[in-house]
Structure 1
C-alpha cells in the first residue's frame, strides 16, 4: 500500500466496549492507575490531545490514566523513560511522529529504538503542518512560491521550532522536492519565531496548523498548503501540498499514538487497542478535535508498527540529506 494513502486507510470499524470496570482486562489488568508519559511540556498541543484521550480512556478501563510530562531532547527523555518502565501495561507512552521516526537519526546516541523498545498499541490522532507566508510575500500558491524562490535563491527565509523538528524537516523536504534554496532560521520553539514571521522579517514557516488558525482568520498570515496528503476538515479551503504539480509524493502527516514498553503482554496490548479504537471513533471525539485541525485515528498494533517503520526510513533519509544532527 502506498505511503500517501496508508495513514488514512488504517481506520477500522469501531469495536464495542465490553465493560468499564477496573481489572476486567487480562489477568485482572489494570489493577492500579495507568501512567501515560507525554514527552513534552504541559499545555502544548501534544499534551492537550493526550489529556482529552486519557480522560476517556480512564472512564473505559475503570482506572485513572495519569499524565506524566517528561519533556526534553525533542521528546527523547520521555521515550527513554517509557522504554525502561515495567512491562505490565501500567506505564504507556504517548508519542508523536518525530519522537519515533526523526529523533533516532537526529541524536547521536539515543537510548531507545523506535522498533525494538516499544510495543505499538494504536494510532490515535493525525494533524498536519501548515505552510504559511507573511502577506507581504508575493505568492498566493505553492507554485507561485516555488517560482519566487527560484528567482531569489538563498534569499527567502523560513523559520522553524528548532533544528531537526518536523517544522524544520518539512522545509528541508520542500527544498528537496522543489529544488529551491531557502534560508533556514531555527528558533527555540514555534512561539519564539512567531513575532518575526508576523512582522515580515521571516517570509514563511512550516508548523502545526493549530498554531496559526487565529492569525489566519485575522489576515496576519496567508496559508498556502497543508503538508499532509489530504486537506484538513477544519481548513478544507486550504489545498494539500500534494495538489501542486511536482509535489505528489510530498507528505508530512503528524501522527500520534500510544505505545507500551516492549515485552508487554500481547493480551494487554489488544485490550488497550480495543478501548482506544472505540473512543477515537466516537463522533464526539472528531467534533471536539475538528476546530483544532486534528483528526482522530484508530488502527491495529500491526498497522501502527508499519507506519513507524515506513516513516523511520523516510525521515532517516531526509535527516541525512539535510546533514542535521543534535548532540
Structure 2
C-alpha cells in the first residue's frame, strides 16, 4: 500500500477526539458504578467474627516439662476448637500461683491449667503450707494427656554404675550420700524420701530451685543422684553425660525399654508423674465435654503423641473421671509419705 493510502487508512481507523472523550466518560462512569457497588457490599457485609482466644496457663517456667506439654497441646488443640490457644506462664509456689489464677476465672472453658501431679497431689498437703487455695479441690479435671516416667539418674562419669551401689554406699556412710531435687516438697524430694523410707537408709536431701540446677550439680559431682522426671534430663541422657540406672515407675518407658524398674530392687517403689488439663470448678457439662472430646481427638492424631514421646513422655489419654481417680490416689500416696517423713513447706 502506498504511504499516503496507509496513512489515510490509519487515520480513518483511529477514534476521533470527540469519540475518545465519550469513551473515557463512559469508562469513568462504569468505574464509579463498580466502586460504589463494592463499597455498598462492604458496608452490607457483617464484620468477621473475632477469633476466640483460650488461655492455657502453665504454673512453671518456660522450658520445663509442664511448659512443654502446654505448648505442644496448644498447637494441636487450637485448630480442633477453631480458636487461638495462648500459653501463659504464671510461676510460683510449685505451680499454685497459676492454678489459683485459673480457679478464679470464669468457668466458660476459655481459661485452662496444665495440671501436673506435684501441684495437685503433693504441694497442698505439705505441713505448714500457706496457700491461697487447694488446687486439687479448686480445679476441675478435663483429661490426662501424658505420663511421665521418673528415673534414678547419676552422672555418667561418677562412681555409681547401679542402684545397688548407691544403696550400699548409703549404708556404709550414713548421712553422706546425697540426692538433689527441684525443691522442698517437689516430686523429686518426696521420691528420695520414699526411697529412704523403703530402704532404711540415711541420705541427705539437697533442694534446688528447679530440676535443671539440681541436674547440673549431679554432673558436677556435688550431689550423688536424683529421682526425676525423664523429660527434665532428656538432653543429658541423650548426650551421655547422665546414666539412667532404673525407672521409678513399673510401667516402663518406650524410650528405655531395657532399663529395669526400681521396684525390682526396692519392692513397692512406684512413682509416676502425669500431665493433664484442668479448668475452674463449675464448668457446664457441655463445655467440659467439648474440651475433653477435643483433647481426645488431638491425642488420636499422630503429631501430639509423637512429640510427647520424643520428649521423654508416655502419651496416655484418660478422660475426666480417670484423671480425677488418679489425682485422688496420688494424694493418698503422698499424704502417707509426707506424714511419715514430716516434710514441711519452705
Q: Does the 8 Å contact 1:157/1:203 carry over to 2?
A: yes
- Report whether the alignment pairs 1:233 with 2:254: yes
Equivalent of 2:86 in 60, 66, 72: 66
Give the equivalent residue in structure 2 for 1:275.
Answer: 294
Q: CA deviation at 1:283?
A: 3.1
Q: Matched residue of 1:302: which SS?
A: helix
5+ long unaligned stretches in structure 1: 1-29
User: Residues 79-94 of structure 1: matches in 2 within 5 Å?
Assistant: 79-94=99-114
Over residues 304-324 of structure 1, what are the superposed CA-to-partner deviations in whole Å (9 max), with x where a residue is unaligned? 111111111111221222222
Q: Distance in 1 between matches of 2:340 and 2:287?
A: 40
Q: CA deviation at 1:99?
A: 0.4
Q: Does the 8 Å contact 2:162/2:245 carry over to 1?
A: yes
Give the equivalent residue in structure 1 for 2:220.
Answer: 199
Q: Matched residue of 1:268: which SS?
A: helix
- Report whether the alignment pairs 1:288 with 2:313: no
Which sits farther off after the overlay, 308-317 or 125-134? 125-134
User: Residues 31-50 of structure 1: matches in 2 within 5 Å?
Assistant: 32-50=52-70
User: Residues 184-263 of structure 1: matches in 2 within 5 Å?
Assistant: 184-244=205-265, 246-247=266-267, 249-263=268-282
Q: Does the 8 Å contact 1:125/1:296 carry over to 2?
A: yes
Q: CA deviation at 1:217?
A: 4.2
Larger Cα-atom Rg: 2
Give the equivalent residue in structure 1 for 2:183.
Answer: 162
Over residues 177-207 of structure 1, what are the superposed CA-to-partner deviations in whole Å (9 max), with x where a residue is unaligned? 1111111111122222333211222111122
Q: CA RMSD in A?
A: 2.0
Q: CA deviation at 1:83?
A: 0.9
Q: Distance in 2 between matches of 1:306 and 1:218?
A: 37
Q: Does the 8 Å contact 2:51/2:84 carry over to 1?
A: no
Q: Distance in 1 between matches of 2:219 and 2:235?
A: 12
Give the equivalent residue in structure 1 for 2:77.
Answer: 57
Q: Matched residue of 1:153: which SS?
A: coil
Q: Distance in 2 between matches of 1:217 and 1:53?
A: 24
Question: As a proportion of its length, which structure holds more helix?
Answer: 2
Give the equivalent residue in structure 2 for 1:113.
Answer: 134
Which sits farther off after the overlay, 147-156 or 305-314? 147-156
5+ long unaligned stretches in structure 2: 1-49
**Number of equivalenced pairs:** 296
Structure showing greater relative contact order (alpha-carbon pairs closer than 8 Å, 6 or more residues apart): 1
Q: Distance in 1 between matches of 2:82 and 2:151?
A: 38
Runs (4+) of structure 1 exceeding 3 A deviation are: 135-139, 216-219
Q: Matched residue of 2:317: which SS?
A: coil
